[in-house]
Amino acid sequence: MEFLKVLSSDLSLGSCDGQQTIAQAKDVFTYRDSDFGNWGLNRASESAKEMKVKVYEMKKDATFNQMFNDINSDLNKLCLFQGQIIEFVQKYREHLRPNGYATFFLFKRGRKFFVARVYVGSSDLEVDVSRFESVCAWRAGCRRRLVAPQLP
């Protein structure tokens, strides 16, 4: 892998019914980006089966496209559902990048891809959202993390 290294694997996420959205997760996130609503991401989705995920850490500056394609070029295989993102941050907080740096989660609405960026503060969690197409290059020196399904 050119841009990422694996930090953890075989972390389990349960199935979800697709009803949970990040915009509604007030008990989990003290701040939720208003773009979850502005971009129509606050609607229920289809259900998801349980899965294993891996946590990666950046080792080279990269855009979202470079990071996720470093794992697999089929982005559909790298998406989590919003309920799974919520479960991950509740169940595996110690695997999130601490000290206010982001952990990235790819998800999809319709045919468009988005990245939820979760930040851990001293006692709270914040989340914002970016369009996947963003050309912003993230600096590897901050050791940001990425969570994606574990592929066979």
Residue ranges per structural domain of the chain: 4-149
Q: What is the pLDDT of residue 150?
A: 96
> pTM of the entire structure?
0.95
Q: What is the pLDDT of residue 121?
A: 83
Q: What is the pLDDT of residue 152?
A: 86
Tens of pLDDT, residues 8-22: 999 999 998 888 999
Q: What is the pLDDT of residue 54?
A: 98
Q: What is the pLDDT of residue 27?
A: 94
Please give the Cα distance from 42 to 26 (Å, whole number): 13
Q: What is the pLDDT of residue 36?
A: 95
Structure tokens at 58: 């950046």
Q: What is the pLDDT of residue 123?
A: 77
Please give the Cα distance from 146 to 142 (Å, whole number): 13
Please give the Cα distance from 97 to 104 (Å, whole number): 9
Max intra-chain CA distance, the chain: 37
DSSP code per residue over 37-96 = HHTT-SS----B--EEEEEEEE-S-B-HHHHHHHH-S-GGGG---HHHHHHHHHH-GGGS
Ranges under pLDDT 50 in the chain: none
Q: What is the pLDDT of residue 47?
A: 84
- The answer to whether the CB of 132 falls within 8 A of the CB of 113 is yes
Q: What is the pLDDT of residue 41?
A: 95
